[in-house]
Amino acid sequence: MKLMKNVFFILLLLFMAYGCSSNNCQPLPPEKFAYNYASFNEKVNSLVVVADTSSSMDDCVGDHTPFHMSKEVLGQIFSSLPSSYNMNMAYITFGHQMAFSKKPCIVNAENKKFSRSAAMEMIKVPEMAGGTSRLDLAIEKSADVMKKMAGKKVLLIVSDGENVCPKSVKAVNDMKKEFGEALCVYVIHAGNAAAGKENLSALTGNLNCAAVYSAQDLFDRNNMKNFIETVFVKALVDTDNDGVADENDKCPGTPAGVKVNSSGCPFDSDNDGVYDYLDTCSDTPAGAKVDQNGCPLDSDDDGVIDLYDECLGTARGIVVDKKGCSLVKMSENTIVTKEGTWIYKGVQFQSGKTFITPASARILDELGAMLKKNPVIKLEIQGHTDSSGRKSSNMKLSSKRADAVRDYLIEKCGIDSERLVSKGFGSSKPFTSNATVEGRKANRRVEFKPFN
């Protein structure tokens, strides 16, 4: 009886020693890597992780156990993926302690939407290793799970490679036959035994899209980045850092900080052809022509944009209505030319003369009164002649006619001289044909052109 007690005590000590060794043989959590993938394409639509939790995974390898190393490396992978990564995932474990499950493999999560938090939660189970390794059954189960998953598929196996059944190679090859080019297989060796790595390499030997990695190597920042970009992410060049890759960017060279659309072009909210970040008039009406600042054109500067202005060419300073037309009352005999000049029909001259007739004086008095009421208006008085006489004589005559009208408005009507300038055009700009008496009479005239 005493001997039995001693044996039991020794066994208890051995069990406690083994348990303490296993608990202490854990890797320290590595640095969490963060990679900046502002622009990327996703290579994977569906991920199935197969994790080895068999008893050999609890054997110390240096300062680590393969079991804890596998969890750390999976956590590192998931935390390194872009947070916006869009894929579905499944998590299968094989080789369990009897207390966890009597089944050789278990689907712990299936067709689960990826998020970092969901992935980290997913790989928490089981909490301890222990059990018989049946990788072949786990791979077969992966094939069943993948049938329900769409797009580009990745089978990711994490194992120490110990006690790998030869059927595992056949199971992988069967999966490749079923899914073809849609499937890639990647294996992470969580251990340092050469035999284990050799066993795992046999799984990928006949595959084009496949590779074996060392878990220990993946704790290096650059190695992990290469792994992420081999398996999951196609990093895209984004020269102007606007969040749209160069290959999709229709507006390269966007200034820093400017918001862009999915094509990489700055927003133009009012569709006036001027980007919002340059547009000082962001609510331009549809159809309005704009200047370089995105503001609607107002050619005559009357406060009514050209889009709505029915009277383009209004003199600056003249009060206008909502249609852009002058509220200044013009004589019924006044003509506004397409050049924006005013012709008072009654202001005409006798052939070869420059004096103001009484009829012309009455009309000029009306013009003077209007100018008094609108002190901002300035006029260029343009003198003209008919085609009679020499050009040089007509040029002098037209200038004298313009001067005569200017003098009348200043002296008789009291208009400030700074508001009036005069210029002669001779016979170069006939209003109508000089072939008739009436035509020549109409051409002996002055015109008034508002200016700023």
Output the six-digit token pair for 12.
């208890």
Amino acid 278 reads L
SS3 365: helix
Number of alpha helices (DSSP H) and beta strands (DSSP E) in the chain: 10, 13
Strand-pairing partners, residue 64, are 61
Question: Nearest 5 degrees, angle CA 419-CA 423-CA 425?
Answer: 150
**Residues in the chain, pLDDT under 70:** 1-30, 315-318, 329-331
Amino acid 1 reads M
Amino acid 60: pLDDT: 83
Could you give the CA distance from residue 377 to residue 197 in angstroms, rounded to a whole number? 94
Output the six-digit token pair for 448.
């008034």
Task: State the pTM of this model.
Answer: 0.57
> Each residue of 258-298: pLDDT tens digit?
999 999 999 999 999 999 999 999 999 999 999 999 999 99
* β-strands 46-52, 40-42 pairing: unpaired
The architecture of the domain spanning 334-451 is 2-Layer Sandwich (3.30)
Amino acid 29: pLDDT: 58
What's the Cα-to-Cα distance from 403 to each of 114, 407, 440, 450, rounded to whole Å?
87, 6, 21, 16
Question: Nearest 5 degrees, angle CA 186-CA 123-CA 111?
Answer: 70
Could you give the CA distance from residue 183 to residue 176 in angstroms, rounded to a whole number? 6
- In the block, tokens 């209003």 appear at 431
User: How many other C-beta atoms are found inside a 10 Å radius of the C-beta of residue 241?
Assistant: 11
CA atoms within a 13 Å half-sphere pointing along the CA-CB vector of 254: 27
Query: Domain 23-235, what fold?
Result: Rossmann fold (3.40.50)
What's the Cα-to-Cα distance from 438 to each of 328, 348, 425, 427, 446, rounded to whole Å?
30, 12, 20, 15, 16
> Each residue of 310-343: pLDDT tens digit?
988 776 656 788 898 877 766 677 887 777 788 8
Buried b (16+ CB within 10 A) or exposed e, 381-408: bbbbbbbeeeeeebbbbbbbbbbbbbeb
Q: How far is CA 277 from the centre of its chain?
A: 13
For the chain, domain boundaries = 23-235, 298-325, 334-451
